[in-house]
Structure 1
């Protein structure tokens, strides 16, 4: 189950070894390898992050044991390995607000490779991770942030520079662009146009531009504030999924 984590470490070492070609050949091999790996890690850490106040971030790398735990989750999700995923959940994992809980119910929710929950998990794997102390992590990252919006109409725009159009049409004029921010869903949904009617409170808008933008946005770029989230906790030194739930 630690294959994904081990693979990343292996790739990092390979990258470091390849980078030795650029090191000073007069240095001892161990020093060359350390230099190469350090430079490779620096390059990875300097990779630009998406723009926007709620763009995915990973705060969980600082939490002991969280990174291999998340690697195991990603591996199970990628492989659609139900038993591997269920094994990472606590026996009393919470699954809904009606009393649904436990590994058997989770297993039933992942009964086939096309079960809808797999797609939700795929999405969760891309949305960052927030930490709360040394024993609790939350995916997506934004769910652990202080967001002052109605949880039922608040939506995260999942992308950078997503256009807001004047009307619900692909050819309509673009009146704004939103990057990983919260918008308010109007009129209850997207209808048949594929566009959702939204209102956006623009941050730091120049005096020459309106503060509140109302328009239409590609509905596939919106994710509810209370869509699925995964909470993991360390219990007696072992990380387990303690909640996988949507709604409120």
Structure 2
């Protein structure tokens, strides 16, 4: 019988409800994203918004990336709103856990099991027995596995010696360590510690998104 998770859990929290103007801002963001309306979305971003770790940014660049279906930025913005909200003394950010240290020594190889009952299986198959269920727990994996999972989540496949292998109709199982237990988790149930996050700061008295990127 599968045992319930007993490790530390990081379920979404909302720490931003009492920040003046934060709820209205998040509602405006949700409305713009749901309607895929860039005319409503772009004003919510700072004119100098950071969009990657090398410093690229600005609304013009953001608009170009939104128009590129391979970036999946609309979907990322949609997902972020489901993962809680954290705060500092001066700003707030999505997801909530981006302000937390999930426990892994290497942020690149640290992932979060997204859900209250994510199966940790004994093998890389949906038919493999469930060892236990993960409840919003952090897991770690080998660097090569993290690279493969990251590639799969972006491109829907893996790259082997023979070339690109489309896995859009196949489940990718990542080998992970959860606490002291090794097992396999469906890659679609995992989100990287360094996946997209956004930060919202006040500029001239108005809340604006000042960074939106994936990475450290």
Q: TM-score range by the shorter chain?
A: 0.7 to 0.9
Select which of 64, 82, 88 maps to 1:108: 64
Select which of 12, 19, 23 maps to 1:63: 19
Select which of 46, 51, 54 maps to 1:95: 51
Match of 2:102 in 1: 147
CA contact (8 A) 1:196 1:217 kept: yes
Q: Distance in 2 between matches of 1:114 and 1:213?
A: 35
Match of 2:162 in 1: none
Match of 2:75 in 1: 119
Q: Could you give the per-residue CA deviations for residues 188-239 of structure 1, whole angstroms, max 9, x where no partner exists?
A: 13566521100011xxxxxxxxxx1100011100000010001001123200
Q: Give the number of the structure with larger relative contact order, counting CA–CA contacts within 8 Å between residues 6 or more apart.
A: 2
Match of 2:177 in 1: 199
Q: Distance in 1 between matches of 2:69 and 2:30?
A: 15
Match of 1:214 in 2: 182
Q: Distance in 2 between matches of 1:148 and 1:114?
A: 31
Q: What does 1:21-32 correspond to in 2, within 5 Å? A: none
How many residues align? The count is: 187
Select which of 172, 178, 181 maps to 2:134: 178
Match of 1:229 in 2: 197
Structure 1 unmatched ranges of 5 or more = 1-51, 202-211
**Structure whose residues are more often helix by fraction:** 1
Q: Distance in 2 between matches of 1:113 and 1:172?
A: 35
Q: Distance in 1 between matches of 2:69 and 2:102?
A: 34
Q: Distance in 2 between matches of 1:79 and 1:164?
A: 36
Q: Distance in 2 between matches of 1:113 and 1:164?
A: 32
Structure 2 unmatched ranges of 5 or more = 1-7, 150-157, 159-166
Q: Distance in 2 between matches of 1:101 and 1:153?
A: 26
How far residue 112 of structure 1 moved from its aligned partner, in angstroms, is 6.1
The alpha-carbon distance between structure 1 residues 225 and 115, as it changes in their structure 2 partners (threshold 3 A), is closer
CA contact (8 A) 1:137 1:232 kept: yes
The alpha-carbon distance between structure 1 residues 108 and 223, as it changes in their structure 2 partners (threshold 3 A), is same
| TM-score, structure 1 normalization | 0.71
**Structure whose residues are more often strand by fraction:** 2
